[in-house]
């Protein structure tokens, strides 16, 4: 009963996110294999923060990440391209109007 099945011997993949300093977002840095989340944190500490690269780590099972499909990138991201009015520089304001 304590003999792990072939399936569980295959350590799952985790994605690792590191917060470089307080006040910054966690950023994806890479991935690693671990038996469980606790071990993934320990491995991430050894693998990705050997030179004070971080103050906080997140690990997420890779299989739980849903990614957008590159084949759909046009329909997803193109529509934003012609909406230049979303940017402040679209509007011309006379010089005499200040602090705007």
x/- letters, 10..49, toward other proteins (CB under 8 A): xxxx-x--------------xxxx-xx--x------xx--
Provide the minimum distance between the beta carbon of 63 and other proteins in the complex, in angstroms, as a whole number. Answer: 6
Provide the minimum distance between the beta carbon of 41 and other proteins in the complex, in angstroms, as a whole number. Answer: 13
Tokens linked to 96: 């005499």
Show the DSSP H helices in 30-94 as ranges.
Answer: 37-48, 73-77
Burial 45-75 (b: 16+ CB within 10 A, else e): eeebbeeeebeebbbbeeeeeeeeeeeeeee
The answer to the question of residue 8 lying near other proteins (CB under 8 A) is: yes
Nearest residue (CB) to other proteins, 65 versus 100 = 65
Report yes or no: 64 and 13 within 8 Å, Cβ to Cβ: no
Q: Which residues bind other proteins (CB under 8 A)?
A: 2-5, 8-13, 15, 30-33, 35-36, 39, 46-47, 50-51, 62-63, 65, 67, 69-70
């Amino acid at each position: 009963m304590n003999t792990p099945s072939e399936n569980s011997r295959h350590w799952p993949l985790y994605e690792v996110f590191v917060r470089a300093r307080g006040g910054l977002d966690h950023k994806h840095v890479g991935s690693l294999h671990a038996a469980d989340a606790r071990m993934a944190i320990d491995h991430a500490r050894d693998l990705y923060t050997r030179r004070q690269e971080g103050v906080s780590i997140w690990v997420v099972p890779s299989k739980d990440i849903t990614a957008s499909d590159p084949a759909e990138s046009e329909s997803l991201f193109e529509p934003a391209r012609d909406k230049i009015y979303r940017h402040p520089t679209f509007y011309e304001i006379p010089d005499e109007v200040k602090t705007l």
